[in-house]
Structure 1
């Protein structure tokens, strides 16, 4: 197994910009993979595009490694290797197709989750990685692998008081029974007192034995089991403990836990939030940012259930069209609606309300529900007050829907809201119109600049340059909320105005500097269009170019 950093499993608030830059390409690759998987499942035939997916995943693995997403990159690489096996195999083993589908889904979820939360919790990928490793006959990555370097030449332990009890010959059977109960998917509850009783008995047997410190760690880890994040990797550790109990009780004097067993149990211990976990991390010199099981449990539901951005956008767009069409029809025809048409609209609004509930846009859904209860016939909606109230609720639902989409968009991709009184629909419209006008202005001025220098014109510099650059300074500030590009265009405007007033010509270097300022805006406009983060450093560079615009004395 390759070298891993502690940060691979840690919860680190980080800048997701590099991941967001490559996200659109990875998402396109994932869509292609999903399409191929559907063909594999439906027809049992291997689509020719699957080879392209394999190549793409291998390239993606290298990119992810470069941007410090090692575990995600490993899943991408192993998924490609699994595809290679599927292509070369004559029979279509459903295990391979199912594992590939699960791995692609894990990548999709993780990229979406990490981009939105600006938090890296690669532990969520461990189960998918282990499944790939098992199928490809690779060494299984243990959760404790990550702390191996911290345990070198150290014998970590915790010190917890425990009761003196007479060891029972049924300790092993009790652990097996509790483990079976825990592994039962219909139960999956922790009988905490029973696990604690088992470890207390084991400690009494282990007194003055070589494995005492190991069983003390087990006592601590299993004493917190009801609060633990029970991943499949964690459950494998619990299964291994059952085997360890069997071996220990057969020969207590000579039993010693393996290095892997110690690593895994220490990892579980430091993932708790009590004083023993804190002391253990301090003893080993492990970062404070190490993710706890409490944090894993906190984020798990969101990670496993959160819809991806593409799904959110598609659903919201369809719902937006439906809401807009419905309220516009009511607005225009509420006084003349027949009972039959009223019932159809009532059903449409009920469906809209239900989707809003599913999306957790609860405020609007509740308001609409209240109106639907009051509107029982066409005569009710003929009343102007009733119609107006329903229309306003539907319009508000549109804005709340925008807020929902915004809340599921990475922060650095969100458009800046300067005036909270402006509806998000109006804001988006303003952004889109201004972006189009800015792009058109950039293209026009670039063409004019190039033409002016190519024609080696002796004519005075056209007046529109100064006006255009002044307008672009304001537009750029609104679009990008960046002072550097704002000032860069002000510098361009002042310089061209000074040239005009002194009847001086633009030099080739002047044009290059101004073109570089324009290029920074054009590149970042393209980034916004492609749902990628803007690059503020481009604007810093643009400001530097604009500062080189100086009239010779």
Structure 2
């Protein structure tokens, strides 16, 4: 998703997608290597036309890259990679004459594609139209026709496997805003929802079939009133729902999402909105046909596109990371200078020369100017406030030193936040207290992740050791469950840590597992109700949940996106445990 502010946390989300970001993230380093190599080849050819054979290497690499991007359905990106490949080939064919305009256009295209990959990962959305200008610049120089669409028509050609929804908040209306009876409609929908979630085949009784028809009627009534993408999609996926049964876990999640939106429980920028539209477009009914037409017309306005183009033209991750490192070095130098003066240079009479702190004041002034250029106004002003005070210091008090350190921390946080805002998968912490160091908070988060993973590992080993000693029948001697008695309490601790780490879905799953096990015969030392085989099956489900949770923690620890399959696995195992 993308907001009108450049951050991972969308405030006013203007676009969402169900594109598989994990695939792109895993390919990112290879993509960057290909683009950097092609850029180097282009530079060497520009300096010496005898290096023209290098261009053919880039032609092959870029063509391969285009195929890979097409395979993962990164529309626009694949088109630009193909254009770059064809442009390199054209440059090679007329190597003797050279073409400065084409060289410049190719260089700009490589930068644009690299920035677009970063844009997609950072903002968690796709906007292929941002690449049209770069594609057509190359096409115009090699004699190819201009491209007019690299978005919605491609989504349709891929059978809407991935879609992008512009301005999702404008494409959803709450039931109450429509003046309808939300409680009555919710009850009608949930009657059918209970049927479809429990169905293990498409064969339904007459009573259950009527409930699913009422479920569809509730959605259709709202869709006729609202005419928004969301409710049309809801009507499309509930009409003749019997044909879609049984549902897998991912599809069940979508129908639960619809149920939640009857009461507007979740914001419209939830990624499942895009999943729902994608699923709805694949249906064969009038609602789906109307939805496809509406989706094609669903576009960002020119002002929003212009705002997004600023991102492609602005600093990238490498630049912002370097800036952050330089600023942190300057701040550390100021701290070291202060420490040297205060702790080692103040004479016995308790005061220094009137200009002793002037060099530090000059460094603060220079740093404040740098922050101002980076549009980090609050941090810049904080340091400017200290310049005059520091320049007049003779023997600063502890309170004065603390105030300066707090202002330096504001600058540290600002530079680190700037770097994180251009780093895919980086966690941008929401600070309720400006006097907290983001660096220290990040360290605390990592420590908590490590401790939580260690606790999960301990539980897994204890369960594994217990399962190895299980009897094979109910009549056999029962195994002492004492080692498992504190598992529910430990699961509560894990759930609390997950909430602090903002892994809400995982926290809810672990919490429900803990509540389920509190009075369960699985860890009741006096129980012989289940055989060893039955217990083994249930403990295997618990192990699946713990392993899926550990995977999510591992992804966050390594700064990688979480694979949705881990969440689905945990939820499926928990559901099976409930139903046992």
Q: 1:326 pairs with 321, 331, 334, which one? A: 334
1:523 aligns with 2:551: yes
What residue is the counterpart of 1:460 in the other structure?
481
SS at match of 1:334: helix
Structure 1 residue 366 corresponds to structure 2 residue 381: yes
Q: Deviations over 1:318-359 (max 9, x none)?
A: 423432453365257436367797455344433422331222
Matched, 1:306 2:306: no
Matching of residue 548 in structure 1 with residue 576 in structure 2:
yes
Name stretches of at least 5 consecutive residues in structure 2 with no aligned partner: 1-12, 154-292, 347-351, 472-478
The reply on whether 1:439 has 2:453 as its aligned counterpart is yes
Partner of 1:107: 113
Q: Which residue of 2 aligns with 1:25?
A: 27
Aligned to 1:76: 81
For residues 440-468 of structure 1, give each alpha carbon's deviation from its aligned partner in whole angstroms, at most 9, with x where no partner exists.
33334334444443565845352364444
Q: TM-score, normalised by structure 1?
A: 0.59
Distance 2:399 2:434 in 1: 24
* Residue 133 of structure 2 corresponds to residue 131 of structure 1: no
User: CA 1:545–1:101 in 2, change beyond 3 Å: closer, same or farther?
Assistant: same
Cα pair distance change 1:84/1:287, threshold 3 Å = closer
Query: Deviation at 1:100?
Result: 3.3
In the TM superposition, what is the alpha-carbon distance from 1:37 to its structure 2 partner?
Answer: 2.3
After TM superposition, the score normalised by the length of structure 2 is 0.57
**2:515 is the counterpart of 1:501:** no
Deviation for aligned residue 1:542: 0.8
Q: Quick one: structure 1 residues 131 and 342, their matched pair in 2 at CA, closer, same or farther if it must change by over 3 Å?
A: same
Would you say the 8 A contact 1:413–1:533 is kept in 2? no
Contact 2:76 2:131 in 1 (8 A): yes
Change (3 A) 1:38 1:471: same
Provide the residue aligned with 2:238 in structure 1.
none
Counterpart Cα distance in 2 of 1:509 and 1:318: 55
Q: Point out the structure with max Rg over C-alpha.
A: 1
Which residue of structure 2 aligns with residue 349 of structure 1? Answer: 364
Long gaps (5+) in structure 1: 1-10, 148-283
CA distance in 2, matches of 1:104, 1:471: 48
Distance change in 2, residues 1:48/1:453 (3 Å): farther
Find the aligned partners of 1:24 and 1:551 in 2 and give their Cα distance: 36
Q: Does the 8 Å contact 2:368/2:380 carry over to 1?
A: yes
CA apart distance, 1:307: 1.4
User: Match for residue 414 of structure 2?
Assistant: 400
Conserved in 2, the CA contact under 8 Å of 1:350 and 1:372? yes
Deviations 1:526-548 (A, max 9, x none): 43345443356633431331243
Alpha-carbon distance between aligned partners in 2 of 1:451 and 1:86, rounded to the nearest angstrom: 66
- Kept in 1, the 8 Å contact 2:34–2:62? The answer is no
Equivalent residues in 2 for 1:241-252 (5 A)? none
- Looking at structure 2, the residues matched to 383 and 513 of structure 1 have their Cα atoms a distance apart, in angstroms, of 61
Q: Structure 2 matches for 1:142-153, cutoff 5 A? A: none
Q: How far apart are 1:22 and its partner, in Å?
A: 0.9
Q: Does the 8 A contact of 1:53 with 1:80 survive in 2? A: yes
What secondary structure sits across from 1:141 in the alignment? coil
Aligned-residue CA RMSD (Å): 4.4
Taking structure 1 as reference, are residues 513 and 364 closer, same or farther at Cα in structure 2, changes over 3 Å only? same
SS in 2 for 1:488: helix
Contact 1:65–1:73 (8 Å) recurs in 2: yes
| Partner of residue 260, structure 1 | none
Q: CA deviation at 1:401?
A: 3.1
Counterpart position of 2:491: 469
CA contact (8 A) 2:446 2:557 kept: no
